[in-house]
Chain A
Amino acid sequence: MSDLFGDVWGSDEEPHADREMSYDLKKLRDAHNKRGYLDGIVSSKEINLQQGFNEGFPTGSSLGLRVGLIIGRLQGLDYKYGNDDKELREKFVLAKKELKIGNVLSKAVFDPNFDLPGTGHEKVNEWEGITKAFCDKYKVNMK
């Protein structure tokens, strides 16, 4: 019990000294730490941007290419058969909406480090399946 009081109130010989010291120290630390942090966070605007860009780019291009393939195939099929194949036309219209960049690169698709999950891109996978079914139907060879 006396230890506890000793900790909290300090000893009789040096009243409040520890507490005041650590309070001042904390204030000092906060002030200088914060100043350092602010200087640090603006210290290097450009560093690492390029490395990040280079890491994201191939994933982005591969997704762009795949999405382009889906759109191009559906567009070609729709051009030829869309007037008679209602389902095909509907899917083409839907694909144009769902595969826009904002949906494909939606934050929700990626993990916090902007990597795709192990299962890949679900939406794009799904549309590749839909497109393949139409390509099979109309004997389009997916090269």
Chain B
Amino acid sequence: MDIFDNLLNLEEQFYEEGWEEGHNENLKNNFLEGKQFGLQVGFQRFVLLGQMTGFCDVLDSLELGNQNLEKNVESIRSLIKTVGLSNKDEDVENLEKILVKLKNKFRTILISVNRLTKQDKKRIIDFDDFEDLSRIIAGEVKGFVEDEDVDEAKTAQDQAQAW
């Protein structure tokens, strides 16, 4: 083997080493990026469901004595029970489907609650208010912001923008 062959082999070897290193780094970064994104989307998708359930807990305690309302609260609960927390296709599909039903039922619930509790006009909750709060809580997040450390917050945001 002459010296040029050796040199070429060496170049190739160095390249391969570097590639392997970069590739592994890349896989690790991708995994963590995906995980952050999964945390975010999972959170966003479930806030409204929890919020509806929590509100229903309070309604039950008020014992408003309206059968229609009780029936609607019950069906909200059983619909939510069918939702799995995973990202499996059937869970995602099911959630999309029942979300429409849930929203409609909850809209009706709020209308009867406002009527039954005879709240003055200023204190009425309509469904838009209810959903707005859910959006504020689950709102779009620009990366994972560090509270104290400004520099790092910047990096996280830059990173988020790069995705």
Contacts and interface: CB of A to CB of B under 8 A. Distances in A.
Contacts of B53: 68-69, 72, 143
B139 A100 contact: yes
Contacts of B35: 52-53, 55-56, 113-114
A15 interface: no
A14 to B, nearest CB: 17
A33 B49 contact: no
A71 B39 contact: no
A38 interface: yes
B87 A38 contact: no
Contacts of B138: 64, 101
B82 interface: no
Given A29-B14, A44-B26, A60-B38, A101 B43 contact: yes
Query: How many A residues are at the interface, by size bracket?
Result: 35 or more
Given A49-B34, A56-B37, A140-B57, A32 B11 contact: yes
A18 to B, nearest CB: 17
A2 interface: no
A119 interface: no
Contacts of A68: 46-54, 134, 137
A20 interface: no
A37 B18 CA distance: 4
Interface of A: 25, 28-29, 31-77, 79-80, 83, 96, 99-108, 113-114, 135, 138-143
Given A72-B57, A108-B147, A140-B61, 6 more contacts: A60-B40, A64-B46, A65-B46, A80-B58, A101-B44, A142-B57
CB-CB nearest 6 A-B residue pairs = A68-B50, A72-B54, A60-B42, A52-B34, A40-B22, A36-B18
19 contacts: A33-B21, A38-B18, A39-B22, A40-B21, A40-B22, A40-B26, A46-B30, A52-B38, A54-B87, A57-B86, A59-B42, A60-B43, A61-B43, A67-B137, A69-B50, A71-B51, A72-B52, A74-B54, A143-B53
